[in-house]
Structure 1
Amino acid sequence: MRVANVVAGRRDESSPVWSDLVDPCTGDTVGQAPESTPDEVAGAASAARQAAMSWSAATPGQRQRALLRLADAVEAEADRFVRTEVLTTGKPLASTLDEEVLAAADHLRFFAGAARLHDGIGAAEYLPGHTSYVRREPIGVTGHLLPSNYPLLMAVWQAAPALAAGNAVVLKPAQPTPATASLLAEAAAEFLPAGTLSVVCGGPETGRALIDHVDAVALTGSTRAGVEVARAAATSVTRVHLELGGNAPAVVFADVDPWDTARNIAEAAFFNAGQDCTAVTRVLVEEPIAAEFTRALTAHAEATVVGPPAHTDAFCGPLITKAHFDRVLAVLGRLPDHVKILAGGKRERDVGYFLAPTVLAGVEQHDEVVTEELFAPVVTVQTFATEQEAVALANGVPQALTASVWTSDHSRAHRFTAALEAGCVWVNTHMRFTPEMPHGGFKNSGYGKDLSRYALDEYTRVKHVMHHFGSAPGPHLSPG
């Protein structure tokens, strides 16, 4: 597999430096991708700048039709996107089709419609003789630094609202998993003006170069990477959108079925090998059912099938890179003595970067496995006696992206949805998304929203226009 940059609507294989792409199921090299130079990044941004003039002038209806056609193309080529995706992620085939490729087409269709639904303050005479209204305008060229865990879906989550708003987009996919973003840009070249959606592959240096050439930059990644991006963007006062790490608690009360709840939580902890910033990483369980729930969660972890895409019954694939796999094993290797490994905690299979689904008990709030996001199929269990204690434990980490509460008491559920510090709180479910609802966190999990009409706010600028229709201007009353 040879992955190319896509610039001005064409594949570009002219880069002087290429890096290997690795199958995480085997550790074997399966392809190459370019390491884009600063000049190549500048060329893609220049092409985007040129394309932005025509794309921003297109009517919302014209942008809608183009995005709908792109969605149809992704769906028609779904099998190709799936085969390409799993080469460098090792994900199960069925879930990659349903949860990523077909979901990406659905999200494109949502934002195609949202292109025609800009909103703002109603036009009115807020000053006598003066009519004011609000214009929503595209920012210009937006740059997007993508993660490796959902290469296609995250490309669409970021590109679709920016395109719907009339911006030209340059994607920088994660270095280990660039292939489906490149395929997306090739497909888009048939329906969008050349340069409207470009891809430049590469590592951190490529990302840093991109920040210098765009009007807004969006990152889905770790908190550490978010800090670096925000600092780099600050020198040019470039707008920043950050969707950063999570460390989601699932708060389980004694009025639920422990085995059924444990099954659902295990799925939300081990799906995509835990490589999801919204995955359950911390379970807080009320003391009366703690022992039974923990036995159930351990049993579900041990029953989770781990394997490559060729194993159709596999639910949990590998970690995507060896470096990350080694980091997680290192954390598990230095667990404090008071932590008990109830399931997993070790490598699974002889080759590849597979980790056995892991359940840790006896943890304390200050432990590394509690305060830090491992981004792996690892979940901790803590107990609580009161609602106040549960809230304190749930909110007592730096991240605040998602959370869930499991209870049959809906009064309690309402209290907890207000008390939990998270951008999304689920009740009796976890890790479910719909494009109509926003996604984004608080605290160290970043700022800004993906999905929903709120995502359009990230990629538009708001302009106040005032007309005076009298014979002469009224008095100048600006507070400035």
Structure 2
Amino acid sequence: MSLPLLQNFINGRFVAAATDTAVEVVDPRTEQAVAQCPVSGAADVDAAYDAALKAFESWRLTTPAERQAFLLRLAEALEANADRIVEAQRRNTGQLAEMIRVEEVLTGASQLRFFAGAARIQSGVASGEYAEGLNSQIRREPIGVVGQIVPWNYPFMMLIWKVGPALAAGNTVVLKPSATTPESAIVFAEIAGEILPPGVFNLVLGTGDTGRLMSAHPVPGLVALTGSVRAGSDLAKQAAGNVTRVHLELGGKAPAIVFADADIEAAAEGIAAAGMFNSGQDCTAATRVLVEASVAKEFTDALVRHAESLRTGPIPEEEAFYGPLNNARHFASVQKIVEERPAHSNLLTGGHRVGESGYYYAPTIISGLKQDDALVQQEVFGPVLTVQEFSSADEALSMANGVDYALSSSIWTTDHQRVLRFSRDLDFGCVWVNSHIPLVAEMPHGGFKRSGYGKDLSIYGVEDYTRIKHVMSAL
């Protein structure tokens, strides 16, 4: 039986890609192909950007209230079609159905409602006379056409995080999902096509080569990506040729710092869940546990116990905490870095495949590592936690900040003074206290250093999709 060949969505309708090249979309639960994703070329990217540019002429003139109404209708429609979105995404990611429904579709609809409201509360400096005889005012305007590239770990959630603020601010969009997880974006395009004017949202399918064409194109005023450091660096180089603005969220290596005065059992349970959620394929996941030496054994024993209780594999979904890794190449990458761990490390649990088919990987905890080991420094993006010990607050802070990533972190303690100090000195875009991983639409998500720049979520995320204009008039 031939596999369905997926189509792009351009100017309000589905169209075949102008290419003969396609890659297989594989269900990571079964390792069986379920569809073919075209590798869109220059003609497809041109057509999508042309449609978005034409649509921008009228979309930019809509009022914030009108854009709010469109987004609220879209949010309602997404909830009504939750089953379709869940099934489409599940075929591509292997994620648990209930997790997709709650964490991505329903939360995504809620986030879209936030962006709808945020469209109406843009801020700026008050109009006034800052020079004698001259009045100044600030206009916050949409950038124009925006190119967006989203990853495979949370395909639908990342789509909402990108499309929501861009449309709320008055931009039009050309979006490319990952070639391994395109189908929930296709369902979104179909739903959006019944609500939004043609050309406001466009979908181009393809691989990294397609993304490079989007980034190097002269039309977009901004290109946004959530992905790896390599992909973000590549995109920035492509965009630089046209001096195109770039918005990057490039992953993390989050420390979870546990002090002796913390609730050890609660910390172990919370960190295990935050490290293994979504198979550890989360840029904010707790990946590096730093624990005070005096309670290291007690905490580590509890962490192993809680991690081992989080099941995965080809088992009934109601018994599983997480599903498979996304694809064969990524599975091999996670397997390799664990198998090549240094001799001085200790594998406390896991470190192996689960089941005979599907990319399932056991909850894995490794101790005895040094700060410069690859497992400490590199983003594994799997259900793998490392444990290191510290003896002082200064040492903990140095170890926490001693990586290239700076997206998220957490501190577990009952000492308020310590919380204030670490909130100031931890070099990460988010600091959680006695928790790790919750996100809300009202608060920004984004990091520093090699984790990229720009904010998703919150009013700051909407403002990232605007430009500032000064208008000065003689009185």
TM-score by length of 1: 0.96
CA distance in 1, matches of 2:160, 2:436: 22
Task: Report the RMSD for the aligned CA atoms in angstroms.
Answer: 1.1
- What's the counterpart of residue 59 of structure 1? 63
Conserved? CA contact 1:93–1:312, under 8 Å: no
Structure 2: which 5+ residue stretches go unaligned? none
> For each residue in 1:367-419, what CA deviation from the matched residue of structure 2 results, as whole angstroms up to 9, or x when unmatched?
00000000000000001111000000000000000000001112211111111
Conserved? CA contact 2:48–2:202, under 8 Å: yes
Conserved? CA contact 2:17–2:40, under 8 Å: no
- Per the alignment, do residues 112 and 308 of structure 1 end up closer, same or farther by CA in structure 2, a change over 3 Å counting? farther
Residues 219-368 of structure 1: matches in 2 within 5 Å? 219-308=225-314, 310-368=316-374
1:139 matched to 2:143 = yes
- What's the counterpart of residue 431 of structure 1? 437
What amino acid is the match of 2:6? V
Q: CA deviation at 1:309?
A: 8.0
> For each residue in 1:162-206, what CA deviation from the matched residue of structure 2 results, as whole angstroms up to 9, or x when unmatched?
100100001010110011112112211122110101110100111
CA distance in 2, matches of 1:161, 1:242: 15
1:17 matched to 2:18 = no
Conserved? CA contact 2:446–2:453, under 8 Å: yes
1:90 matched to 2:94 = yes
Identity %: 50
What amino acid is the match of 1:13? A
Aligned with residue 165 of structure 1, among 160, 163, 169: 169
CA distance in 1, matches of 2:17, 2:375: 44
What amino acid is the match of 1:129? G
Q: Relative to structure 2, which stretch is displaced further, 398-407 or 23-32?
A: 23-32
CA distance in 2, matches of 1:93, 1:180: 13
1:174 matched to 2:178 = yes
1:68 matched to 2:41 = no
Conserved? CA contact 2:174–2:203, under 8 Å: yes
CA distance in 1, matches of 2:347, 2:356: 21
- What's the counterpart of residue 378 of structure 2? 372
- Per the alignment, do residues 309 and 432 of structure 1 end up closer, same or farther by CA in structure 2, a change over 3 Å counting? farther
CA distance in 1, matches of 2:17, 2:169: 31
Aligned with residue 441 of structure 1, among 432, 436, 447: 447
Aligned-partner SS, 2:60: helix
Runs of 4+ in structure 1 deviating by more than 6 angstroms, as ranges, are none
> For each residue in 1:104-145, what CA deviation from the matched residue of structure 2 results, as whole angstroms up to 9, or x when unmatched?
101110000111111100001111111101001111100011
CA distance in 1, matches of 2:7, 2:118: 31
Q: CA deviation at 1:92?
A: 1.0
Conserved? CA contact 2:252–2:283, under 8 Å: yes
Conserved? CA contact 1:307–1:315, under 8 Å: no
Q: CA deviation at 1:3?
A: 3.1
> For each residue in 1:70-123, what CA deviation from the matched residue of structure 2 results, as whole angstroms up to 9, or x when unmatched?
000001111111111111111111111111111110111000011111110000
Q: CA deviation at 1:54?
A: 1.0
Conserved? CA contact 1:54–1:193, under 8 Å: no
Structure 1: which 5+ residue stretches go unaligned? 470-480
- Per the alignment, do residues 235 and 14 of structure 1 end up closer, same or farther by CA in structure 2, a change over 3 Å counting? closer
CA distance in 2, matches of 1:48, 1:374: 37
Conserved? CA contact 2:313–2:361, under 8 Å: no
Aligned-partner SS, 1:57: coil
CA distance in 2, matches of 1:90, 1:118: 39
What amino acid is the match of 1:365? Q
Conserved? CA contact 2:125–2:137, under 8 Å: yes
1:194 matched to 2:182 = no
Aligned-partner SS, 1:453: helix
Aligned with residue 127 of structure 1, among 125, 128, 131: 131
Conserved? CA contact 1:90–1:308, under 8 Å: no
1:383 matched to 2:402 = no
